[in-house]
Amino acid sequence: MKTAAELKQLVTRIDHKSYPAYKETKGVYQFPGYLLSIDHVQGDPFASPSKISIRVKGKMAGFPEKLYQTKWQKVALEDLLIRQFGQCCTKFGFQAKGSGKSGMISISRCGQEMLERSAARIDAKTGDLLIRLEVGFPANGRTINAREWIRIFFEFLPQCVEKALYYKNYDARKVRAVSDLAEDQHALRQMLPKLGLCAFVANGAILPRESGVSARPMKGAVPFQSPKEMEVEIELPHRGKIRGMGIKKGITLIVGGGYHGKSTLLKALELGVYDHIAGDGREFVITDASAVKLRAEDGRSIKRTDISMFINDLPNGKDTVHFYTEDASGSTSQAANVVEAMEADASLMIDEDTSATNFMIRDELMQRVIHRDMEPITPFIERIRELYEKEGISTVIVAGSSGAYFHIADCIVQMDRYIPREITALAKKEAEQFPQLSGPNENADRPDFARKPQQGKEWKGNDRIKMKTMGKEAVSINKETIDLRYVEQITDSEQVTALGYCVKYAQRHLLDGRHTLQEVVAMLEEKIEQESLAALCESTSSVVNLARPRVQEMFACFNRYRGLTL
């Protein structure tokens, strides 16, 4: 290990040399109060920025152990460190001048959700901090600019460390509030099954967002207020008593006119699988952590998935127990999505607007004209009760045009100008005037989840598999694009990057044809839990921007990977 003074001497010596001379700086250096590690040096000022990590000993950082003694508190504190360090990066970014990415100082940009990220890690035993970030090494053209480089590493970064990584420079009450909120959110999530609930929406929650491109709360929005019939009171460790709408396990239908808040409520529920920061408005919108929002997904790939509980006896004789297609229809894609959610042990959320109509329902007139024997699709409405009673899978459905689900719903909520009203009795009374659709004669067999993926031929002996993340929409692996546009609970592009690494790690180490996909995902989850997100990567020196995906998104990624060999 070298000293900071030696690093300054080195950079001064290579001043005005060609850019590759920066490679000599790679290594670990002792700065006052922290270790600086230059893990990866970019080859060109226009290339991806260099990867830097900073380590601060627990005793020096000084954060009390009570702030990170549980997993959820630890994630909340790491999230706070990233946000604080990010503010400093914004202040100093590009103040050092030069060509290309010169002067860039960047760390993960956190959204409204608190996610476990590779950008910050606290050792639960020692309190040691690890921060990963990116820095654009300055250059004039392609010539090293030592003066600007020294400004970054000896002026800007020390200030970021001082302000963001030392507890003494924080408002202790605000840090404690972050930890307390994390504990309250976790406690509320743990209480859901004990109360027979699959979701909870607190009174006063702000559900609408600022705009279609902003996840911040809308100013002047109508605060949420639970119907009295559904209101529950819960005692939290720090906040105390909190009241709100409890959505019971079973089948819940959300109805109402257009633009009255149905989809807004569902969107809040689907993102309620994550904890949210204070001020978001949805801090206490808490959903069963396994819940999956699904939809029709025309054109997706389906690999050997058992969709026979919904689709059988196709005219072309195609096998629906081991169904395979590279270009799914709306109905087959939604059937596969339901079965894959079952495989991931999830509860369901569905919006009528993004569903395949023929998968969701066949009305009485259509059943009379097109007899059941001539229709290969058993619609979701005929299986939804079976899913709950046999598999324990609850469903929340948003519907605006079809009242057929009134008959089978356990609870019906009407959104009226963003105010929910419980109308179960009224809706069921009106439904008596309309015949209930006939259901299947017998229950379906449980889908077969014995798929055992194997390593693809292109992976054997190939150490040059390239990966590229395309925002929240897709990840490309070896030129094979995994389309994730309709996996709607992905909330950060860093989760997509992590999913790409999950696929790469599994292909290299886990896909041997002996383990089911459920077992493969379980092993990936254990790897992340026991080690870290960075453990998925071949080289931890280049790891910066990863955010932890849920198990359900891992399943979704593998199931949409056309290169998966089954």
- The pLDDT tens digits of the residues spanning 526-560 come to 999 999 999 999 877 668 799 999 999 999 999 99
The pLDDT score that the predictor gives to residue 354 is 95
The pLDDT score that the predictor gives to residue 365 is 62
196 sits in the region (left: phi over 0; alpha: psi -120 to 50; else beta) called: left
> What is the amino acid identity at position 260?
H
- 370 pLDDT tier (thresholds 50, 70, 90): low
- The pLDDT tens digits of the residues spanning 330-364 come to 999 999 999 999 999 999 999 999 999 999 988 66
- 315 pLDDT tier (thresholds 50, 70, 90): confident
Residue 408's DSSP bridge partners are none
The pLDDT score that the predictor gives to residue 369 is 65
Whole-number Å distance between alpha carbons of 2 and 35? 10
Between 441 and 283, residue with greater pLDDT:
283
The pLDDT score that the predictor gives to residue 459 is 85
User: Which whole number is the average pLDDT over 136-149?
Assistant: 96
- 371 pLDDT tier (thresholds 50, 70, 90): low
The pLDDT score that the predictor gives to residue 538 is 82
Residue 135's DSSP bridge partners are 50, 105
- The pLDDT tens digits of the residues spanning 457-490 come to 888 777 778 899 999 999 999 889 999 999 999 9
Share of the chain above pLDDT 90, in %: 87
Residue of 425, 486, 114, 419 whose CA lies nearest to 265: 419
Between 367 and 288, residue with greater pLDDT:
288
- 286 pLDDT tier (thresholds 50, 70, 90): very high
Between 342 and 370, residue with greater pLDDT:
342
What is the average pLDDT value for the chain, to the nearest integer? 94
The pLDDT score that the predictor gives to residue 4 is 97
The pLDDT score that the predictor gives to residue 428 is 94
User: Which whole number is the average pLDDT over 513-524?
Assistant: 96
Whole-number Å distance between alpha carbons of 331 and 297? 8
Which helix (H) or strand (E) covers residue 384, if one does?
A: helix 384-391
> What is the amino acid identity at position 241?
K
Q: How many residues does the chain have?
A: 566
Question: CB within 8 A of 416, min separation 6: which ones?
Answer: 256, 260
The pLDDT score that the predictor gives to residue 441 is 65
3-state SS track over 451-509: CCCECCHHHCCCCCCCEEEECCCEEEECCEEEECCCCCCCCCHHHHHHHHHHHHHHHHH
> What is the amino acid identity at position 292?
V
The pLDDT score that the predictor gives to residue 539 is 78
User: Which whole number is the average pLDDT over 24-42?
Assistant: 97
The pLDDT score that the predictor gives to residue 443 is 84
What is the sign of the dihedral through the CA atoms of 26, 29, 35 and 36?
negative
Above 70 in pLDDT, residue 253?
yes
- The pLDDT tens digits of the residues spanning 56-107 come to 999 999 999 999 999 999 999 999 999 999 999 999 999 999 999 999 999 9
Model pTM? 0.95
Tokens of residue 474, six digits: 């897709």
Whole-number Å distance between alpha carbons of 141 and 137? 12
- Tell me the Cα Rg of the chain: 26
User: Which whole number is the average pLDDT over 225-237?
Assistant: 98
User: Which whole number is the average pLDDT over 21-35?
Assistant: 97
Above 80 in pLDDT, residue 517?
yes
Tell me the HSE value of 102 on the side-chain side, using a 13 A CA sphere. 23
- The pLDDT tens digits of the residues spanning 5-19 come to 999 999 999 999 999
Share of the chain above pLDDT 70, in %: 97
The pLDDT score that the predictor gives to residue 372 is 62
Q: For the sheet containing 251-255, what is the strand order?
A: 292-294, 348-351, 395-398, 251-255, 411-416, 419-422
Contact call for residues 263 and 295 (beta carbons, < 8 A): no
The pLDDT score that the predictor gives to residue 319 is 93
The pLDDT score that the predictor gives to residue 436 is 79
- 444 pLDDT tier (thresholds 50, 70, 90): confident
